[in-house]
Structure 1
Amino acid sequence: MENKNERTGLIHIYCGDGKGKTTAAIGAAIRAAGRGFRVLVLRLLKTNDSGEVNALQNIPEIHVLPCVHSFGFSWNMTPEQKEKAAVYYSEQMENAWKMALETDENGTPAFDLLVMDEAIGACRQGFICEERLLELLRTRPASLEVILTGRGPSEALLNAADYVTEMALRRHPYERGIGAREGIEY
């Protein structure tokens, strides 16, 4: 069995217009935690009002960074709100990376897997700097696994990834007027 501290960490992208990007990332986080990996979850563009946050907070190997500010949907934001969101989400990303890179006195990494939910959307909206994210991905410790989710990744992000999985929308209940349901979509 491979030692998790000596393994090669890879970069995953879960993207597309279909449902399931966050679900896939959370599934991978739970699988990793089930094998004793320490997982850090950063959620961008979302609030803490989601079922997976409640569940993940009960798994000792998983640390979910709190989302203390909600800015609403980007298409409804004023320029001032967008500016505040960019500052907040950039700080959140930097804090997550700082935490992910910490080690103990023996040099053991604090985390084995970093999930950055909606990082791709945050880049696309200009809330986090894609060049900075790419730099962080290039300079991460060799053993750190990273998962990014969101719609519309750039070619640069796609090229940085080892895994790219696209969720394709074929049908969605929203088309029939059925809105997001607690426990299923959030």
Structure 2
Amino acid sequence: MMKSCIHIYCGDGKGKTTAAIGLSVRASGCGKKVLVTRFLKTDHSGEVKVLDAIPGITVTPCERSFGFFTRMTEEQKKEAAVYYSQLLASTLEKAVNEEYDLLVMDEIMAVCNYGLVDEEVVRKFLVDRPKGLEVVLTGRNPSKELTDLADYVSEIHKIKHPYDQGLNARKGIEY
């Protein structure tokens, strides 16, 4: 069996999720079974509908939305922590029990950094994961502990972005 690796796509630039989705499509095209779980994102993003139609790719549905973390009340943060911790636990269980080849945890860094999930749970899973399970983690500011565990760390650095000039996210481009 070939060694499986841990990938991190991080940084302040656009393209972290895009890179993870591209790898998911490539893996599926080669007959691999892919599980994509998105944290802090709704199912309204353009790639969800297409990914759901690709054989071999399963996208975990986002059943709750809490909005931007900085706008959440303390009560909403508590609810979000319960929800995302349960989502993480069910994702990790599903990845193992249903024998996926690739697991993508989109924006996992954010939920770790905001304290909405316990990063130690993620680290322990990465260390103890099945030998054949490739894992992709996305988001800004990964911890040193996560980057030390990773085989690939790709930082996507923003040089220029239309948002800086007041252009809001556009459907089909940024979401």
State the TM-score, normalizing by the size of structure 1. 0.93
Name which one, 1 or 2, has greater alpha-carbon Rg.
1
Q: Which amino acid aligns with 1:137?
A: L
Deviation at 1:177, TM superposition (A): 1.1
Return the offset for 1:102: 1.2
Q: 1:130 corresponds to which residue?
A: 119
The match for 2:101 is 112
Superposed CA deviations along residues 67-100 of structure 1, whole A, max 9, x for unmatched, are: 0000000000001100110110011111011111
- Code of the residue aligned with 2:148 in structure 1: it is N
Distance (whole Å) between structure 2 residues aligned to residue 22 and residue 66 of structure 1: 16
Give, in whole Å, the separation in 1 of the partners of 2:85 and 2:55: 26
Q: In the alignment, residue 95 of structure 1 is paired with which amino acid?
A: S
How many residues align structurally?
175
Q: Does residue 25 of structure 1 match 2:14?
A: no
Question: Match for residue 60 of structure 2?
Answer: 65
| Deviation at residue 9 of structure 1 after TM alignment | 1.0
Q: How far is the alpha carbon of 1:120 from its aligned partner? A: 0.7
Q: State, as a whole percentage, how many aligned pairs show the same letter.
A: 54
Gaps of 5+ in 1: 1-5, 104-108
Distance of 1:24 and 1:124 partners within structure 2: 21
Runs of 4+ in 1 over 3 A off after TM superposition: none
Residue equivalent to 2:38: 43
**Where does the alignment leave 5 or more consecutive residues of structure 2 unmatched?**
none
The residue that corresponds to 1:101 in the other structure is 96
Equivalent residue number for residue 106 of structure 1: none
Deviation at 1:45, TM superposition (A): 0.6
Counterparts of residues 140-151 of structure 1 (less than 5 Å): 140-151=129-140
1:13 and 2:11 aligned: no
